[in-house]
Each structure stands twice: as C-alpha cells, then as structure tokens.
Structure 1
Amino acid sequence: MAERIDAHIAEIRNDSVHGATFLTKKALAAIREAAVAGSQEKTLRKAALQIAAARPMMASLFNVANGLLFQLDEDAGRDAVIAYCDAFAESMDRAAASVLESGIERIAGARTVLTHSYSSLVCETLLAAAGRGERFRVVCTESRPGNEGVALAERVCKAGIETSLAIDASAGFMMQRIDLVLLGADGVGRFGLVHKMGTYPIALAARESQVPFVSLATSEKFWPAEVRYVSEPSKPSDEIGGKNVCFDAINLYFDVTPLRLVDTVVTEESALEAGGILDLCGSKPLHPLLKKSVG
C-alpha cells in the first residue's frame, strides 16, 4: 500500500494541469484509500509529510497534511482517518458554495471583469452570476506558459458570456477598461497571496487604476502564520522556448502578491482585508513535524 500512496503523491507532484482544489481532493482520496486498506500510522505520517512537500505553493494540500498529523495524534484508527478525509472534502464543498454566493455579489454591477489563470471557484462564480441575470464581459489572460486562461475563456464563452482573451502583458494597459479583478488563490499567508505568475503586476496595475482586486479563497487555502513562502524551482525551459544553450530560462508558475495590494479575500466566513488575513492565519495551529520545513 505504501507504494500505491507514493504513486498517488508523485502524480500530485508532477501534475501541471489541475488546480489546488482538484489535487487536494486527490490527496484526500489517496489517504482515505490507504486508511481503508489498513495502512499503519507511520505510513500515514510519512504520506502527510510527502503531501505537504509535494506542491509547496498550494496551501490546501499543506493543510490536509497538517490536519492529518493532528488527527493521527488524537486517533490513528481506520475509521477516524476516513472520517477526517470525508469531513475535509465536505467542508471544502460547503465553503466553496458560500464563497460563490459572495462572489456573485462582487460581480453585480461590474461591466468588465478581468481574471487570471483558471480557478474553478472563479469559473463557477462567473457562470452562476450570468445564470442569475448579471450581464458582464470577462477578460481572461492567457496565463502562460500553461495557458490556463485559455481554458477558462473557452468555458465561459461557451456558456454565453461575452469573453475576450488577452495576452498576459496587456493586463496593465487594459486596466482602465476593467471594473473588477476577480481571481482565485493557490494559497494565502502572512507573506502574501500566492497565485499564477503575473498576478503581482496585475495587482499593481489594479491599484494604480483604482480597480478592486478581489480573491476568492476558502479557509483551507490559508497557511498557518508560521509558514514562510518557499519559492519554486524553475520549470522546463522548452515551455517558453528557451532552447538556446547561451542563456538560462526562468520559467516560474507562481508569484506572491503583497497583502497591501489585495483589497479583499472573500472566504466562507467573511470578506477579509490584510488585518483579517493575518488573524485567520494566526488562528491556524501548525503541527510540530511540519515546523522545521516552513521556517
């Protein structure tokens, strides 16, 4: 069973297509499967540490691992671990439904909404808002090198929403035509908001043009306050055409936007500004086994 868990975690580590919500549920399914199979506590603890390290820019994966370690301290029994996985997944779904409702309220009255990358929660919020009669245009950035924004543009366009696809570098120039920047988050910490590369300059442009910059993020996407962001290694150079041996290619998937540039992060509980974000992060305990990996 340990080999099977390792294989699942390797898939999560190497998946460059799916977002945090999908990969978090995949991790929960792997843990649940291991518990059903009767895996020993030490196997589950090892899996938790591997999950936390698999995608360090995705806070929900880290929180699955963090919570699992606390659960194993309290009760490492099969049924208790299964219940933990089920409760975490159900909580994610309930929280997303609540944030979606708040997101629709943010869209109301906006003529043009700009979004970056592909957030399943943002996508569902846009579709729900249109379904309830809101009329607006969506501008999706390409979000290179993975072009996640192209996938989002295709989905909302097919749903009948007026949609434009824009190159990433045009976002700042276009900001005066935008009423709302609405995007997701791979994680939120005391150090800032982690999202697809290019989010930081979009936030700067939004602030300059006085356009609201809003992130939709359920509470499992907030790191404990002790966690410090660890930058990711550069990805394959051939994704950006860097095949010349004379120079290095810098191909990063995520950046960090300082909290001072984030107007609001909408959670299932409330809409948070910087102070509220720090409070929420501060309320999250960090398991001792993870402390040495986040300093």
Structure 2
Amino acid sequence: MTSLAQLLEKVSNDHVSGSSEIYSELLDGLQSALAQRPKVREWIDFSDGLSKVKRSMAPLQNVAGSIKVLLNAKIPDDQFNGFVKGFLTDLRERERSAPDKIAKNLMNEYRPGKVVTVSYSGTVLSSLLHLSKDVSVSVAESLPMGEGRMTCGKLLAGGHNASVFRDSMVPSEVQKADLVLVGADGVCPEGVVNKVGTLSMALAAREFKRPFIVLCSTSKLIPVLEMDAMEGEAQVEGLKVREAVFEITPLELVTAVVTDEGVLSGEEMKKRLLKDRSRMKDTECQTC
C-alpha cells in the first residue's frame, strides 16, 4: 500500500478526532508522503478517494479540490510534487496560526462569564483555554459518541471550570449562559455542518436571545459541500433507533462566524459564500 493510500485509510477511519485535528493530520501526512515522491497516478487516486470520505468536512474537500485543480493544470509529472509542496506549505502555516487568531478575534468581541458548547472541537477548545479560568463552561454530552466528555476533560486538565450535561438539557443550559460557542466541520451557504445538538443550541439561543457563535478557520469555508448521509439506524435492545452524528444549522440562526480572518454575521457569511459559489467553474463544482 502506498503512503498516500495509507494516509487515506487513516483519515477515513478516524471517528474520534475533531475536523481541525483530522485536517492537521491530513496535512502532516501529505508532507510526509511527499518524501516518497508519489506518482501523478497516485495523486489522482488519492484525490478521488479523499473526495468520497468525510464529505461533510470542508477542509478535506478543499484539499481534494486543490489537488484536482493541479491535476487539471497538466503540470509535468516531474514537477507535480513541487507544486503540491508549495500549496501544502501555505495551508500548514495558515492552519498553525489560525487558533490563536480566532481566539483573539473572539475575545475582542465577547467577554462571557458562562459558555455553553457541544461535542469536541479543537478550535473551540483552543479559544476556551484562552479565556479566563473564572469562565464557567458547560458542555453537552453529545451522544451517540459522547465527545463532550473529552472536551470537559481537557478543560478540567487545563485548570478551567467545566461540567458536562445531558443533551436533553440544552435549552435550560443555554438560558443560563452568556454565550453559545460551537465549531464547524464545514460552513456552506446552506448552513453550518456540525455535530447533532448544534441546531437545538441555535434555536435555544434565538429563543433566549443569547449570542450563537461559530468558530472555525477559513479552511472550513466552502461554497459547495456534498453531504454525508445525516441519519442512520442502530439496534438497541431489539429496537430500531434513529440516530445522527451531523446536522445543518442555517446561517440565519448564527450571530457571528469568527475565523482567523475576522468576524462576519451569519447573513454576511452566507452572502460571501454564495458569491464564491457563483464564481466557481463547473469543473470545480461538486454536487451540494
């Protein structure tokens, strides 16, 4: 198995890490794979495969799309890896600096006393760790995978005041908070793709007039995003139980999207992404 094929398998099988961590894992893996001087045929297979796994994670789809753009440019085989190295260097630097920039942009706008969040997001965790340790953080358990417990554990390990609550308590926890912070696997004109529980937090935030803030690097922004299946079924004690891992929260419910480039309202972000979509060439589009 080639190094690119091994990387694709590793990324595909990671069902625990947040999208930012998987993205960093991907970039590091690609950097290592370049040492093996992959052939153009391997890049074709890798980009095709990457576009079919974790389709809800915008950064991965952006990387797959960038590789396909290079492939369509008919770059000579002996120069192709050099072009890949160039765009990887830029992506790795931007991703390295993004968390601190996002945290700074958040703190310039908000100084909460109590925050509610959901699931696990490396970007959200980084921003929470930048906040004062006096800030209280409540984390939804985020079943079926329960990633909220990991977020809480990391906050407690960092000396912060954090607790976990059952997903059914989202409305009451939002009502007691000053601010709702969530991450994103992707942001497209249709909305914010994130773990289940995000939409209920957004609706509760609207009802109780709390700011609902999405934190993500610009790598998560994508004009067209093909979605994974949202729902599935599991057998629990002989019963079929519907469950989902991801859902879409409309940008109309978002107070602000805070990125490494700055802050936009949900409506402003939607306009930006729709404008980007209108500029896309048919050959660069995926079905959304």
Task: Calculate the TM-score normalised by the size of structure 1.
Answer: 0.87
Shift, 1:290, TM fit: 5.5
Q: Are residues 1:102 and 2:105 paired? A: yes
Q: Which stretch of structure 1 is more off in the superposition, 174-183 or 280-289?
A: 280-289
SS in 2 for 1:145: coil
SS in 1 for 2:52: helix
| Among 90, 95, 98, the residue aligned to 2:93 | 90
Aligned to 2:124: 122
Structure 1 CA distance for aligned equivalents of residues 62 and 222 of structure 2: 7
Shift, 1:270, TM fit: 2.0
Which runs of no fewer than 5 residues in structure 2 stay unpaired? Answer: none
Q: Which runs of 4+ in 1 moved over 6 A?
A: none
Does the 8 A contact of 1:96 with 1:268 survive in 2?
A: yes
Fraction of identical pairs, as percent: 25
Aligned to 1:167: 166
* Shift in alpha-carbon separation, 1:205–1:122, aligned structure 2, 3 A: same
* Shift in alpha-carbon separation, 1:233–1:201, aligned structure 2, 3 A: closer
Aligned to 2:16: 17
Which runs of no fewer than 5 residues in structure 1 stay unpaired? Answer: none
* Shift in alpha-carbon separation, 1:164–1:206, aligned structure 2, 3 A: same
Structure 2 CA distance for aligned equivalents of residues 29 and 160 of structure 1: 30
- Which is strand-richer, 1 or 2? 2
Structure 2 CA distance for aligned equivalents of residues 145 and 38 of structure 1: 40
SS in 2 for 1:139: strand
Alignment of 1:56-95 (within 5 A): 56-74=55-73, 75=75, 77-95=80-98
Aligned to 2:115: 113
Q: Are residues 1:208 and 2:221 paired? A: no
Aligned to 1:255: 247
Aligned to 1:42: 41
Does the 8 A contact of 2:231 with 2:245 survive in 1?
A: no
Cα deviation 1:150-189 (Å, max 9, x = unaligned): 1111111232222221101101122221110011111100
Alignment of 1:120-269 (within 5 A): 120-130=122-132, 135-224=134-223, 226-232=224-230, 234=232, 237=234, 242-244=236-238, 247-269=239-261
Aligned to 2:276: 283
SS in 1 for 2:66: helix
Does the 8 A contact of 1:72 with 1:81 survive in 2?
A: no
Does the 8 A contact of 1:36 with 1:82 survive in 2?
A: no
Amino acid across the alignment from 1:263: T
Task: Calculate the TM-score normalised by the size of structure 2.
Answer: 0.89
Q: Which stretch of structure 1 is more off in the superposition, 157-166 or 259-268?
A: 157-166
How many equivalent pairs are there?
282
